Each structure stands twice: as C-alpha cells, then as structure tokens.
Amino acid sequence: RMDQALLLVRNELPAQGLRLAARSGACHQCLYQLLAFVPPSNGSLSEPGTVVVMVDTQRPLALQLNGSVGDRELCKIQYHFGEFGNYSLVVKTLSTSTKTVSCDLVINEGPINSYLPILFAFLVYMGILAILIAGHLFMKIDPVRSWVYKKLNPRETDRLINSELGSPNTTDSVSSDPTLRLWSPASRQRLRSLDTFRGLSLIIMVFVNYGGGKYWFFKHESWNGKLYCPSSLFSRFVFIMGTSISLSLSSMLKWGSSKRKVLGKILWRSFLLILLGIIVVNPNYCLGPLSWDNLRIPGVLQRLGFTYLVVAALELLFTRAGAESGILETPYPALQDILPYWPQWIFILMLEMIWLCLTFLLPVPGCPRGYLGPGGIGDFGNYPNCTGGAAGYIDRLLLGENHIYQHPSSSVIYQTTMPYDPEGILGTINTIVMAFLGLQAGKIILFYKDQHKQIMSRFVIWSIVMGIISAILTKCSKEEGFIPINKNLWSISYVTTMSCFAFILLLLIYYLVDVKRLWSGAPFFYPGMNSILVYIGHEVFENYFPFKWKMQDSQSHAEHLIQNLTATTLWVIISFLLYRRRIFWKI
C-alpha cells in the first residue's frame, strides 16, 4: 500500500524464534510495538523461519529483534524504508562458539521515487506562469496592444488593462468609470498584500485539506514538532485576520459609524462564523445525520468566530481618537503604536497567565501536573489516557467526549485512543494572542501609512522579538524546551514562532505587492478577496465532481496529487471569475 514497504524476515537461528518490534523515528520516548513473531529454523538452511510484514516508509524506523529464549536483544537496526520497496532481513549466527548473531538488511527490489509527481507538477505550474508572464510582456508592445484593442470590446479591454497591467495614458477613461478608478494605481486604497497573504494561506490550506497528494509532509505533525507546511496555515490565517480587524475598524469609525453600530456588526459576524462552523462545516457528519449526540462543537470557523469577537471588541473598546494620526503625544515616539493601547496589552497578558496557570497547575486525574504530551504509547506508555493534558481534560469535561474531534493526528504514530480537539477551549486563548499580534501589524500599517521603511523595519523588529521568545521557550529544541512548539495545543511557543514567520512573510509580500508593485498578488489575491466563500465551498463540495472523482489507482501519489491540485486550481479560477463579476461574499 501507499507509504509502505514489504519486509521479509528470515530467521536462520535453529534454536529460538524472534520477536520483531518497531518504533517510528518521529515517536518521542515511545515503546516498541510488536510487529510479528518469527519462528525458528528447522535446522536446515533451506527452510529458515520466515514472516512477511508491512513497514511504514513515511519516517525512519527503529527495528528491534529479541530472541524468544530469555527475551535477549539480538540486534537493532535504524533504517528509512522506501515506498513500495521489497526488503529482506536475514538473521543468522556468525560464530557457533561465540554465538554472535548478525542481522543483514538486503534490498530485493528498489523503492519507487514517489516525489517525482511533485517535480512534474511544479514544472507544469512554472510553465503556466512563464506563459502568463510572456503574455504580460507582449501586452506592453504597442502593436500587440493595438491589435488587442481592435479585437476586444474597447471598454472591456480598457478595464482589463487597468486592473491587471496598470493604467495607460488614457486618464479620462479611467476617471469616468468608478470601477476603474477604484483599482487605478493612483487611488488604490486597499492593500493588496493583505488579501494576497490571506489568499496564499487559504489556497495552501485548501490543497492540504483535500489531501496534499497523500504525502506525509502535507499532514499535521503528530505532536510536538517540526513546522511542516500544514502547521503554519491556520495560524497565518488568524494572524492576517487580526491585521484586517485593525484596518477595517479604523475605516468604519473614520466614516462615522458609531461604536454601538460597529459592535453590532462584530457580534453578528462572530455569530455567523460560529454557526457556519457548527452546522455547515462539521466533520462528524460522517458519523451519521446531524444530531446533538455526535455534533462536534469546536472547529476552525468556531475558533475564528470567537477569536474575532474578542480581538475586535477589544480593539473597539480601547481605541482612541487621534492615536493613529499621531495627534496624541507619547513620551516614547518609537512606541506610539503600543503605549496608547496599554489596556489591551494588560488584557492579553492576563489571558496568557490564565493559559499558563490552567496548563501547568490544573490537576488532571491520572496525569502528572503540567503534562504536555500526547499520551498513548508516548512517554513510554505511562500516561496513555492523558492526551493533551489540561487542554484535553477541559474539553472532555465541559464539552463531552462525543462533541470533540475523534481522530486527532496523535492517533497515527502515538496510537492514542482518547478523542482530542486541536480547536478546543484552552487553545483558543493563544489563538486570541496570535490574532492580537496580527492586530499589531495592522496598527503599524495605520500609524506609519505610506512610510514603507518604517513599516518594514518594525515588521523585522517584531519578527526578531518573537523569534527570541521562541528560542527561549523551546531552548531551540523539538522536545526538550520549557514549552515545546505544538500546533495541537496551540502552545505559546507555537504562537510566537508562527508570528515570527508571519511578520517576515507579510513583509516580503508587502514589499513586492504594495511597495515596489513587482507583483499584483495574482492568483492568490482573488481567493483572498473571497476567503469565506472559498473555505466553506471547498468543505461543502469536497466529495463532488469535479473536485473529486473515482481513481483508477487509489494507492498512487500521482493520482491523488492530480486530483488535489485540480480541485485547488478550480477554486482559484472560481474566485477569479467572482472577482471579475464583482461578487464578494462578506459576513
């Protein structure tokens, strides 16, 4: 099967059988798991004891062979098997006098290169990009531009050139059309970099949710871990939501909306996001018709809705007239985007203290205080039912086991049996912190409007500060830090690390799109303008054609990759067409 190899174990020892056990290289402090018992040889080398097992190829494996007599360890092998490979493990005695045992791993049939489809897909998309860039350059040639004007409707052509290639020297036509004026370079008010950032995160999230070609590195880390692509997507979405809150609330208040009216919009939007998450996007549908018995209460949209409510209300409550325009005087001008909002910082620090106290001080039955592990076979199997520590306990206590996520990522490697929700109650506190850091990025943009060097330098400073905090909390280690990076727990080190990367990514996109205008943000800009529609749409229509079809070979990475990339590309095209027709679904 996919992500598996075949291993034939040959036992040529005449006197004893063998116990073959394995442990994944990604499983921290895990117990070896028995794979098979290999019978002894009958004394003739022509008939050794054999057994065939399937081994995982996603990560390196540690194989352990113990003799059935005295349970003595005979040998241990570390090896990363290749997908669809065929291997033999030959166990034999080298010397009868010393009873030295050798374990030799032989490759009978080489594995396939399962990464070639990724390379091919990359080349295809680079080819499409090259064609689009060539078309863009050709449109700058006067004869080509004139031919396009003749072939296409003049008004439509003018709109196309203005929106994608910049305004030609026909200012009268631009100024006469409000749609064109909105997107003309001279008067463009909306920061395209924010929508591009949001769209980039969203499109990769859609690809990963559709399966990511079934590659292991497009799946969430089992527990503590390496920051693979999926681990950063939701956090970036939360970050840019915080940035948008700052800009949108400032705009509404400047246009004369009362705080009461704005608060009503905040409450309504939060309610809709939570409702959509519970009713429309609910993975527990696969357990049967929607009912209270199996309804999952936490979720991505639910957490986004509640986070939006807290951060937007916090910004609305403590916003100060004149602060963003620099009218208010502060004793430290370098901190003018922070000091006027000191009540917000106190509130956020209090929230973080609550998270720390609950995480490390709350007694959890049957678990050590402050436990942050996955449970299952982790920590040498001492705490099998302690998945997530206080975070998992709070969810199971307040929501009930049937109303949280039933198949957490820890169940694959750590073989956990307890349900655990990565969008649970306790982790929402740090999601609010993440959105608040994004809110700070929005304030920087407002305070230093059109001062590109100031904006970018402050993004760099914030990134460095977040990186230093992460280094202290984790001791620059995956497992040995004070608070490891963990997406399932939404640990504070995960928040600071993801914020560090988010500030850098926003800086790069802001520089390319809004400062130098070397990139229009396409194609990610379009789904970024319709993010809620794309996210809900891809969840609702996930199992319908043309987003999914019956495969000829379900064990092929190539077929899964083609299907997942096709579905993701279709959502980019849909968002582009909606953008062209000026259709935006806003909540």
> In this structure, are residues 520 and 195 in contact, taking their beta carbons and an 8 Å threshold?
no
Bridge-based pairing of strands 73-79 and 86-95 is unpaired
CA 97 to CA 100: how far, in whole Å? Answer: 8
Q: Token pair for residue 458?
A: 């402050």
Helix ranges (DSSP H) in 152-258: 154-165, 171-176, 178-183, 192-209, 229-254
Spatial neighbors of 221 by CB under 8 A, at least 6 apart, are 228, 231, 409, 487
Q: What secondary structure does DSSP assign to 535-576, as a single string?
A: HHHHHHTTTSTTT----S-TT-HHHHHHHHHHHHHHHHHHHH
Helix ranges (DSSP H) in 280-363: 300-318, 342-361
Q: Token pair for residue 85?
A: 């490979």
CA 394 to CA 371: how far, in whole Å? Answer: 13
> In this structure, are residues 437 and 466 in contact, taking their beta carbons and an 8 Å threshold?
yes
Instruction: Identify the CA nearest to 240 among candidates 169, 192, 291.
Output: 192
> In this structure, are residues 359 and 370 in contact, taking their beta carbons and an 8 Å threshold?
yes
CA 502 to CA 463: how far, in whole Å? Answer: 8
Which amino acid belongs to residue 521? G
Spatial neighbors of 398 by CB under 8 A, at least 6 apart, are 425
CA 248 to CA 240: how far, in whole Å? Answer: 12
Type and span of the H or E element at 577: helix 557-580
My answer on whether omega of the bond before 546 falls inside 30° of 0, hence cis, is yes
Type and span of the H or E element at 12: none
Instruction: Identify the CA nearest to 405 among candidates 326, 297, 556.
Output: 297
CA distances from 83 to 107, 226, 483 (A): 12, 22, 35
Mind telling me the catalytic residues? 220
Q: What secondary structure does DSSP assign to 206-226, as a single string?
A: HHHHTTGGG-GGGS--SSS--
